[in-house]
C-alpha cells in the first residue's frame, strides 16, 4: 500500500507506520523547541523598544569625581597647568630656599667669582664660613662670617687652603624684625665713625650704607631688610686695582640678591638691581672676620 510500511514480528503480527504522520510530528516538535529558544533569547537581551542612556567618556569621568566636565580646549589660565607656588620649587629640581642665613658662604658668592673680581688665578681663592650665635639682647637670631682668601700659584696647585692673604671679609647678622636690624646698624655705624679717618653715607642701589675708611682697611656697613652686612676690604688685598669705594659696593650688589629669598616674606625688601657681569678670572699670581654686624 502506497505511503505505508509493514513490518512483521516474530509472533506474526504486523506493524504499520504512516510516514507522513511521523514527519508532521517531528516538524511540530522542532517548531516548539525553536519558539522556546527564541523566547529565552528575547528575555536575556531585553526589550529592544526600551532606550538605554549613554554618556560621553569625558563627562562620565568628571561626574565620578564630582567635577564639571573638562572643556575640550587649551586652558585660558596658566595656573591650571602649574601653580606659581609650585613653579619656584620645581625649577631645576631644587627644594625651596630655606628662610635662614646660608650656612656656607659659597651660597652667597662662589670663590671663583671672587677670584675673577680680584684678578686671581682660577682655583686659587678659598672661602671660610663661620657661624655665630644669637644675641637676644639686640634681637639678633643668626650670624654668618665669611673670609675670602687668595693663595697664588701655590694654592692653585695643591697648597694649603684658608691660609693665604685676605681678599675681603663679610659679616651678616639677621634680626627678628627690620626695626631691630636698623637700630643695631645705626648703633654700629655711629661707633665706627668715631675711630675713622673718614666716613660718609652712601647708597648701594636702594640700600642705605656707611663707608668708613681707616689706614689699613675700609668698611662698608649696610642694612637690608632684617639683615645687617659689614664688608671689610684690606688696603693690602691682592689684585686690588680699584678704589675701595668702587670695590665694596660692587661686592655688595653681587651678594645682596642671594639674601633676598632667604628672608621672611613679610620683611623681604625689593631685590637690588644686579651689577654688571664679573670679569673673567685672571692668569697672574696673586681667622674670623671682624666687623660691626
Pairing verdict, β 166-175 and 207-213? unpaired
Cell numbers at 53, concatenated = 542612556
Cell numbers at 143, concatenated = 650670624
Give the model's confidence band at 69: pLDDT under 50 very low, under 70 low, under 90 confident, else very high.
Answer: low
| Buried/exposed 224-238: b ≥16 CB within 10 Å, e otherwise | bbbbbbbbbbbeebb
Does 5 score more than 70 pLDDT?
Answer: no
Give the model's confidence band at 9: pLDDT under 50 very low, under 70 low, under 90 confident, else very high.
Answer: very low
207: closest CA among 275, 156, 111, 158?
275
Q: How much is the mean pLDDT over the chain?
A: 77
- In this predicted structure, what is the pLDDT of residue 285? 38
Q: What is the pLDDT of residues 95-145, one digit of tens each?
A: 788 999 999 999 999 999 999 999 999 999 999 999 999 999 999 999 999
Q: How far apart are CA 231 and CA 170, in angstroms?
A: 5
- In this predicted structure, what is the pLDDT of residue 44? 45
Q: What is the dihedral of CA 30, 32, 38, 41, to 10 degrees?
A: -100
Are the C-beta atoms of 75 and 86 separated by less than 8 Å?
A: no
Q: How far apart are CA 215 and CA 196, in angstroms?
A: 9
Does 158 score more than 80 pLDDT?
Answer: no
Helices of type H across 47-158: 57-64, 84-90, 111-117, 152-156
Instruction: Identify the helix (H) or strand (E) that includes residue 251.
Output: helix 244-259
Comparing 67-71, 139-143, 282-286, the range with the smallest average pLDDT is 282-286
Q: Would you say the pTM of this structure is higher than 0.75?
A: no
Cell numbers at 21, concatenated = 504522520
- In this predicted structure, what is the pLDDT of residue 72? 74
Pairing verdict, β 207-213 and 227-234? unpaired
Are the C-beta atoms of 6 and 17 separated by less than 8 Å?
A: no
Are the C-beta atoms of 228 and 255 separated by less than 8 Å?
A: no
DSSP 3-state helix, strand, coil percentages of the chain (rounded to 5)?
35, 25, 40
Are the C-beta atoms of 209 and 257 separated by less than 8 Å?
A: no
Percent of the chain surpassing pLDDT 90 = 51
Chain-centre distance of CA 287, in angstroms?
A: 34
- The more confidently predicted of residues 167 and 45 is 167
* Contacts (Cβ under 8 Å, ≥6 apart) of 105: 127, 128, 129, 144, 146, 148, 170
Strands (E), the chain: 4-8, 14-18, 126-131, 140-149, 166-175, 198-204, 207-213, 217-224, 227-234
- The more confidently predicted of residues 168 and 93 is 168
Q: What is the pLDDT of residues 238-272, one digit of tens each?
A: 998 999 999 999 999 999 999 999 999 999 887 65
* Contacts (Cβ under 8 Å, ≥6 apart) of 285: 121, 152, 153
Give the model's confidence band at 276: pLDDT under 50 very low, under 70 low, under 90 confident, else very high.
Answer: low
Are the C-beta atoms of 223 and 259 separated by less than 8 Å?
A: no
- The more confidently predicted of residues 250 and 46 is 250
Does 6 score more than 70 pLDDT?
Answer: no
Does 58 score more than 60 pLDDT?
Answer: no
Segment 223-238 mean pLDDT = 97
- In this predicted structure, what is the pLDDT of residue 288? 44
Cell numbers at 265, concatenated = 616674606
Amino acid at each position: 500500500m502506497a505511503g505505508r510500511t509493514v513490518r512483521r514480528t516474530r509472533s506474526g503480527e504486523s506493524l504499520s507506520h504512516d510516514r507522513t504522520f511521523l514527519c508532521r510530528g517531528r516538524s511540530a516538535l522542532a517548531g516548539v523547541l525553536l519558539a522556546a529558544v527564541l523566547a529565552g533569547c528575547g528575555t536575556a537581551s531585553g526589550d529592544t523598544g526600551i532606550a538605554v542612556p549613554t554618556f560621553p567618556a569625558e563627562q562620565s569621568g568628571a561626574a565620578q569625581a564630582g567635577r564639571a566636565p573638562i572643556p575640550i580646549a587649551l586652558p585660558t589660565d596658566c595656573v591650571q597647568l602649574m601653580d606659581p607656588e609650585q613653579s619656584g620649587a620645581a625649577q631645576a629640581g631644587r627644594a625651596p630656599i630655606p628662610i635662614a642665613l646660608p650656612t656656607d658662604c659659597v651660597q652667597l658668592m662662589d670663590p671663583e667669582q671672587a677670584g675673577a673680581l680680584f684678578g686671581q688665578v682660577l682655583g686659587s681663592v678659598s672661602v671660610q664660613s663661620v657661624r655665630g650665635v644669637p644675641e637676644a639682647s639686640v634681637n639678633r637670631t643668626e650670624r654668618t662670617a665669611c673670609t675670602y682668601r687668595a693663595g697664588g700659584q701655590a694654592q692653585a696647585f695643591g697648597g694649603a687652603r684658608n691660609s693665604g692673604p685676605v681678599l675681603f671679609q663679610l659679616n651678616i647678622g639677621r634680626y627678628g624684625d627690620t626695626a631691630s636690624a636698623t637700630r643695631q646698624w645705626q648703633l654700629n655705624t655711629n661707633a665706627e665713625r668715631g675711630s675713622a679717618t673718614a666716613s660718609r653715607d652712601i647708597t648701594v642701589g636702594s640700600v642705605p650704607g656707611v663707608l668708613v675708611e681707616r689706614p689699613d682697611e675700609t668698611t662698608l656697613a649696610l642694612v637690608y631688610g632684617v639683615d645687617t652686612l659689614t664688608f671689610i676690604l684690606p688696603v693690602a688685598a691682592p689684585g686690588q686695582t680699584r678704589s675701595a669705594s668702587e670695590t665694596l659696593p660692587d661686592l655688595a650688589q653681587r651678594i645682596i640678591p642671594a639674601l633676598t629669598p632667604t628672608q621672611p616674606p613679610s620683611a623681604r625688601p625689593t631685590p637690588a638691581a644686579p651689577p654688571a657681569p664679573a670679569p673673567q678670572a685672571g692668569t697672574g699670581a696673586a681667622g674670623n672676620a671682624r666687623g660691626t654686624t
